[in-house]
Amino acid sequence: MSLFAGTGIVVKIVLFILLYFSVVSWAIIFFKLLQVHKANKDSDQFLNFFWQTKHFDAISAQIDRFANSPLSVLFSEGYSELKKVVEKGEDREDPHVLSTDLGGVENVARALRRATTSEITRLEKYLTFLATTGSTAPFIGLFGTVWGIMTSFKGIGETGSASLAVVAPGIAEALVATAIGLVAAIPAVMGYNHFQNRIKVLIAEMDNFSTEFLNIVQRSFAKK
């Protein structure tokens, strides 16, 4: 605090900006930790329930139990589209066959792709801020440091003294900006990389589930 109080107005502004980046980054990190944890937990439970139940109607009736799972969203969208396609074909001889003129399985596949894109966007929300913090905070801190050092050397020129006792306090105050910049950037980078890896796992699970869902639809409804 004593170092902060001794800095100039420009360095103070830089420190406030870095403090803002740091606080928001930590808020995002805690939020994403909770979100991704719930998504993983509910997805595991939903998959177990899905393969044990094996009946779409029964699964749909209890889908609210897995509200945080991306896979439950994919199932809801895919099953909703499947019902629409089947209802359109009720006037045909075999209403349980998905004909090509109605789009059939391709309509269900498009619904699954839309749901996957939507869930990826939801899971990756706010991660851009972490990436921005990780890449820019050190440079913002460096700017504050350079400005502080310039001010220190200006003071040296005005006083005409370059002794360590005169130079050291100003340099120390200037380097605070770089330190705070690193404090803001390092957790943001670590959090961003961690969540990207966890989300990649969820995306792979969504792709696998979409493939399995379509296989079930084709085996159960589509013409051979």
Rounded Cα distance between 11 and 140, Å, is 10
* pLDDT score at 145: 85
Q: Is 222 helix (H, G, I), strand (E, B) or coil?
A: strand
Report CA dihedral (145, 146, 151, 155) to the nearest 10 degrees.
100
Lowest mean per-residue pLDDT among 79-83, 134-138, 160-164:
160-164
pLDDT in tens, 39-76: 999 999 999 999 998 788 889 889 989 989 999 999 99
| C-alpha neighbours within 13 Å on the C-beta side of residue 206 | 29
Tell how many helices (H) and how many strands (E) occur in the chain: 7, 0
Place of tokens 């359109």: 88
Look up residue 120 and give its two tokens.
């990826």
DSSP bridge partners of 222: 98
Look up residue 102 and give its two tokens.
């109605």
Rounded Cα distance between 97 and 152, Å, is 80
Q: Find out whether 188 and 133 touch, Cβ atoms under 8 Å.
A: yes
pLDDT in tens, 24-47: 999 999 999 999 999 999 999 999
Rounded Cα distance between 152 and 171, Å, is 7
Q: Find out whether 96 and 104 touch, Cβ atoms under 8 Å.
A: no
Q: Find out whether 208 and 70 touch, Cβ atoms under 8 Å.
A: no
pLDDT at 224 over 50: no
pLDDT at 95 over 70: no
- Residue 51 CB coordination number (10 Å): 9
* pLDDT score at 151: 73
**Residue 120, H or E segment:** helix 105-124
Rounded Cα distance between 81 and 71, Å, is 15
Over the Cα atoms of the chain, what is R_g?
A: 28
Look up residue 117 and give its two tokens.
């894109």
